[in-house]
Every structure is written in C-alpha cells, then in structure tokens.
Amino acid sequence: MTGDMEGHSGWKLRHIFNRKVKQADDVSSKATDDIDFDLNIINTEKPTDYAQLETFHRAVYPVMLLAQCFSLMPLTNIWQLNPRRMRFKFKSLQMLVTIVFMVVTSVLLVSMLKHLFKIGITAKNFVGPVFFTFVECACILFIDLARKWPALMRHWTRLELIFNKPPYEMLPTNLMQRVRLPAVIIIICSIIEHSLYQASAIVNFEQRIIICAEAQNTTADTSFDNYILHNYEYVFQVMPYHRITAVYILLVNGTCTFIWNYMDLFIMMVSKGLAYRFEQISMRIRKLEHEEHISESTFIEIREHYVRMCELLERVDNALSSIILLSCVNNLYFVCCQLLNIFNKLRWPISYVYFWYSTLYLVARTACVFLTAATINDESRSALGVLRRVSTRNWCVEVERLIFQMSTQTVALSGKKFYFLTRRLLFGMAGTIVTYELVLLQFDEPNRRKGLLPLCG
C-alpha cells in the first residue's frame, strides 16, 4: 500500500535513509521535502494514496482551511492530501490576509487603550484590551506554528503509515469523526455565543436610547449607524465614521471571536489525533492478552512504535506549547472575570441569557480542552494493566522497558514544560478557582447589594 511495504533490503536502506532525512528535517525543512519527494518517486511504482489513508492531516485540513478564512495559519496547498505539497511562504495571499487583519486589530486595540487611559483603567474595563492582545498573540503564534507545520505534518504522516497497516486496526469511532466532531460543536457554540452577544448589545442599546429619549423628551435614534457609534465610540475618536468602517469593525470583532475559540479547538484536534494513535497501540497490546506465546520481536516492535509516538508528541509539544500556554492563561483569565461578575444585576433578560450562556460555554470549553489533552496521557498508560498481566513465560526485557517507560514518563502535552495537561492538573486548577471564588463571594457582598447604576446620564 505504501512505500514502506517493499522488500527487506529496500526497507533497510530506506530505514537508514529515513533517519538521515529526519535529522535533516529539523535543520532545513525545504531540503527534506525534495529528497523525500524524489525518494517516493524513485522507490515505489505506485505512490501512496493519501485519500485511502486515515491521516491526521486529512482529518484536520477542512477546519484549517476555514481558519485560513479567518486569517490564521498562512500555509499554501493545505487542501492537498499529500502533506509534502504544503508550503509556508512569506509571500502568499494567506500571509497578506493575516497581516492586514493584525494591522486592523492593532488600530482597534490602540484606540481602545487611548480611550481607557482617558477614563481610567479598572479591573473590569481592562477585559477589552486583554481580549485583543490575546488574539494578536494567537495570530503571531499561529504564524510561528505555520512555519514548523509542513515539516511536522510530513513527520506525522510518515509515522501514521505504520498505524494504517495491520496489526493495527481502525477504532470504532474513526480519526476523522473524532477530530471533526469537536470542531463542529465549538463552531456552532461560538456562533450562538457571538449572536447572543450581539443581541444583548443591541437590546441594551435600543432600550437605553428609547427610555432615555422618553425621559428627556427627545427622539430616539436606534439606527445601525448610531448603534456602532455608541458601542465602538473609542474607534471613532481616532478616525471619522463611515459605514464601511462600521461593517469592518463588526467583521474584525467576529474574526477575533473565532480566533479566540480556534486556539482551544486546535489544541483539542491535535490531542484527538495523538490520543487516537496511543489508543491503537493500547488496543494492539490488549489483543495480545489471550495469546499463549508472544515473541520478543512483537514487543520490540510495539515499543518502537510507542517510543516513536512519544517522539512525535515531543515534537508537537515543542511546536504547540506556546499556544497551549496562551490558551490556558486566556481561559483562566476570562473564567475569573466571568466569575467575578456572577452576582451582578443586569437590566434585561437577554443579558442574563448571554451572561450565563457565555459563562457556562467558557467553563465547558476550558474543561474540554484540558480533558481532551489529558486523554493523551490516559491513553498512553491504558495498556499498563495488560502488560502487568504478561505471564512469566512471555516476560522479556522489552516488556520491562515498556512498563518502566509507561510508569515513569509523563506522556502529555505541556504548557512550555511548566505544567503537563493531565487530569490531576485540572483538579488542582479547579480547586484554586473554587477557593478564589469562595473568598470573593464572601467579601464581595457589599458591592453586589448596590444594584444597578442609573441608565441615562
């Protein structure tokens, strides 16, 4: 099926070659590319048919294409199933989109900061600039990731060929479903969240205009222009109002919300992709349980695949852990902010709906990112039970090494190696947030009793 399936001597050659390639890979991704590509042509008559393989790239590329529409990860040829065709180029349409978006966001951010310095920064109105800063950082980190992505995907796909052949089996829910399901859920939920946000903002604006107009005996102007002028007044302190600018502001806001959600989604998809392979290894080990005699070479092979998956994880972690760190800080900051406002009184039912939906969605999304990432760790250890039951007859040094490695190594994505995304981390974080919330609730009561500020003036 693939180039790896030729005769023994060829395989050996390729094995050694592969190693050299992998080395070169780290230094210069471009060179590797060509070599690898040529190799494919020379060595195998029929090239690998990626459309029939269950690869992570194939599962993830539609979501990445969508992200490119929102100016993330400027890569060319992302829609090709063969990851060798993917390129990162500074001079490309995608890069241009990204840069334009970042410039526009910067303008928004600067005008907002200027506005805030004028009216005084507080813990509560600081949320806006923080949101835009996180989005800008995410953009930069995704550009950096895009640079490493083609080489990483080639490495990943090459490794995935192993898991597309027996004795490995496809799992009941296949890779594509696993990767795409969270994408669909997150995108739908975030669209609802953004709609509710807009609805709440519009209702707030309209009601205020109408009620205040009545109180002051003036006519209420609830037009689109007036809405934008009121809600984004800080922008129009920097530049004159124009309806195109207004539409543009709404677009940028939507894009920012998408990016803000995509960070978490991307971590979840990568986690699913990695956990799937570890689950396949566990499944293979579990099937050995009922065999009378297992040869050492089987364990040698399993251990090699396990170690190579750990290596891949390591490499993915190196590329991704800045984004993970950003996503964690981002999530914890916004969860704390929402929890701080949990007992605030609001004026309109739609505001309550929006507030509670967004809070629950945020908490659920945060928990999901952690839990999905933690499955890598869970799956990597899930075969330990079976390995412990290997009988004395089948016991060999390779099983011992595999058990030792599984027991002592923390196989998990990390936030720049400061912490590993495991289930126990989530428990610790939840504990800290709950304690913090308890202390807040205890002492914030006087503030909460104050009630609503006057609507007009």
Residues that bind its own copies (CB under 8 A): 16, 19-20, 23, 123, 289-290, 296, 300, 304, 307, 310-311, 314, 336, 378, 384-385, 388-389, 391-392, 395, 397-398, 401, 403-405, 407-409, 415-419, 423-424, 426-427, 430-432, 435-436, 438-445
Which lies closer to its own copies via its Cβ, residue 61 or residue 370? 370
Cβ at position 222, least distance to its own copies in Å:
31
CA distance 122 to 233: 18
CB-CB contact of 154 with 32 (8 Å):
yes
Which lies closer to its own copies via its Cβ, residue 117 or residue 166? 117
Cβ at position 120, least distance to its own copies in Å:
10
Which lies closer to its own copies via its Cβ, residue 216 or residue 447? 447
Which lies closer to its own copies via its Cβ, residue 115 or residue 305? 305
CA distance 70 to 72: 6
CB-CB contact of 378 with 385 (8 Å):
no
DSSP conformation letters of 76-132 = BSTT-SSGGG-B--SSSHHHHHHHHHHHHHHHHHHHHHHHHHHH---TTTTHHHHHH
Helix (H, G, I), strand (E, B) or coil at 238: coil
**Alpha helix (H) residue ranges in 28-92:** 29-43, 56-69
Which lies closer to its own copies via its Cβ, residue 89 or residue 287? 287
Q: Which residues contact 334 (CB under 8 A, 6 or more apart)?
A: 127, 362
CB-CB contact of 294 with 170 (8 Å):
no
Which lies closer to its own copies via its Cβ, residue 142 or residue 355? 355
Cβ at position 356, least distance to its own copies in Å:
13
Which lies closer to its own copies via its Cβ, residue 123 or residue 453? 123
Helix (H, G, I), strand (E, B) or coil at 420: strand
Cβ at position 431, least distance to its own copies in Å:
7
CA distance 410 to 398: 19
Cβ at position 389, least distance to its own copies in Å:
5
Cβ at position 307, least distance to its own copies in Å:
5
Cβ at position 391, least distance to its own copies in Å:
8
CA distance 282 to 90: 41
CA distance 149 to 68: 14
Which lies closer to its own copies via its Cβ, residue 293 or residue 389? 389
Helix (H, G, I), strand (E, B) or coil at 414: strand
Cβ at position 47, least distance to its own copies in Å:
28
